[in-house]
């Protein structure tokens, strides 16, 4: 769920922007490959501008952490 047009939840990122599971997204955050979220109360959000840039980098082949075998498992 989006709180504003400028912030995205992990659920909306994985559903609408980057086709990975939420657990894969969180592994990317934990490994440092993905920026830490902005915490508002108990919820976490990322700036839409950051996600748009990340999607652009994935499409251009510059960033492929989610499709790499180097992402650590828990």
Residue 73 scores a pLDDT above 50: no
CA gap 41, 28 in Å, rounded: 22
Residue 72 scores a pLDDT above 70: no
Residue 33 lies in a domain: yes
What CA–CA distances, in Å, run from 8 to 13, 15, 25, 69? 6, 11, 13, 26
Domain count, the chain: 1
Residue 70 lies in a domain: no
Residue 74 scores a pLDDT above 70: no
Residue 27 lies in a domain: yes
Residue 74 lies in a domain: no
44: domain range? Answer: 7-63
pTM of the predicted model as reported, rounded to 2 decimal places: 0.78
Residue 34 lies in a domain: yes
Residue pLDDT, tens place only, 9-59: 999 999 999 999 999 999 999 988 899 999 989 999 999 999 999 999 888
Residue 22 lies in a domain: yes
More confident residue, 63 or 9: 9
């Amino acid at each position: 769920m989006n709180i504003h047009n400028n912030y995205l939840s992990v659920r909306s990122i994985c559903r609408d922007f980057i086709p990975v599971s939420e657990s894969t997204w969180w592994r990317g955050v934990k490994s440092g490959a993905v920026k830490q979220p902005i915490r508002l109360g108990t919820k976490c959000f990322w700036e839409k501008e950051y996600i748009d840039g990340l999607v652009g980098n994935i499409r251009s082949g510059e960033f492929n952490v989610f499709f790499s075998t180097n992402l650590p498992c828990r």
